[in-house]
Amino acid sequence: MSDELLITVAPTGAETAKADCPQLPTTPEEIARTAAECEAAGAAMIHLHVRDGEHAPTLDQALLREWVAAVRESSSLVVQLSSGGSVHDPLDERLKVLDAEPDSCSLTMGTTNFGDDVFLNPWPFVKDLYQLALSRGVAPEFELFDLGQVHALGRLIREYGVPAGGKVHVDFVMGVPGGMPGTAPALVAGVAALPPEVTTWSATGIGRSTLAVAMASLSMGGHLRVGMEDVLTISRGVPVESNAQLVARAVDLGRIAQRTPMTPAGCRELLGLA
């Protein structure tokens, strides 16, 4: 891996209520400002979940397009739309996320218990989404919530090949109740099991596992995803003030590991979009 560090910001997610966290960006104006601040702080890509006028998660096509446009106007961040949505979103609507023409989409490699809910990703859906992303030239980021999903990625690539740009980027999402734990040994096992076609990987730890996963990832040459989708406290009992604060902390950790924040142009190359 190069000394460059890809920092992806996941600013909103689908799980946190605006009422519980007023600093969560949930409007086009707030997401535009967040994108600009996070790019200035060192992020190169944004992972977007869209909210409606009531601040509720939505896959409404007009709003998806509005949010993508808002981010593109205020920043040059690579725009990744979540195809995972919320645990309540139907699979056919999740496929239509690609109609909003993002640069990248998340693509989770299997079904996961998600707290008391189930994050559904049946194999036929995974295959449909991958084929659609390939046909649209949208770079998939494979989300891996457990070790079985790492092996499933190898199966998908054997069946359908790698994206046209030749790049395969994955993100370990760790510490979800129902998925793999957010620990260094789990990350070591996941990285060791990656199919050889994988060109780059990043990691994020949910909640309390955030710092452990970030430091484990940096120690192994991996990249980072940070943001209020994944963690709402900056230290024990202290709320995050903004997504840019989390990006700035990732930059600080990267500096200690002698890694330089990657630019959005670098991220486009990493994803085979350049």
Alpha helix (H) ranges present in the chain?
28-41, 61-74, 91-95, 123-136, 147-160, 184-192, 210-219, 243-256, 264-270
| Among residues 82, 112, 204, 243, the one that binds Zn ion under rule CB under 5 A | 82
Contacts of 159 (CB under 8 A, 6+ apart): 127
What is the CA 69 to chain-centroid distance, rounded? Answer: 19
The values of phi and psi at residue 232, to 5°, are -120, 0
Nearer to Zn ion, 70 or 97 (CB): 97
Residues 4-33 binding ligand KMH (CB under 6 A) are 13-14
Residues 64-93 binding ligand KMH (CB under 6 A) are 82-84, 86-87
Question: 143 contacts which partner out of Zn ion, ligand KMH, none, CB within 5 to 8 A by kind?
Answer: ligand KMH
Tokens describing residue 37: 């601040």
3-state secondary structure of 186: helix
The contact mask relative to Zn ion for 179-218 (x = CB under 5 A, - = no) is: ----------------------------------------
Q: How far is the CB of 47 from Zn ion (least distance, A)?
A: 6
Question: 80 contacts which partner out of ligand KMH, Zn ion, none, CB within 5 to 8 A by kind?
Answer: none
Q: Tell me, what amino acid is at 6? A: L
Would you count residue 8 as binding Zn ion (CB under 5 A)? Answer: no
Cα(19)–Cα(251) distance, integer angstroms: 29
Looking at 71-79, 82-90, 116-124, 260-268, which segment touches Zn ion (CB under 5 A)? 82-90
Q: Applying CB under 6 A, which residues contact ligand KMH?
A: 13-14, 82-84, 86-87, 106, 108, 114, 119, 143
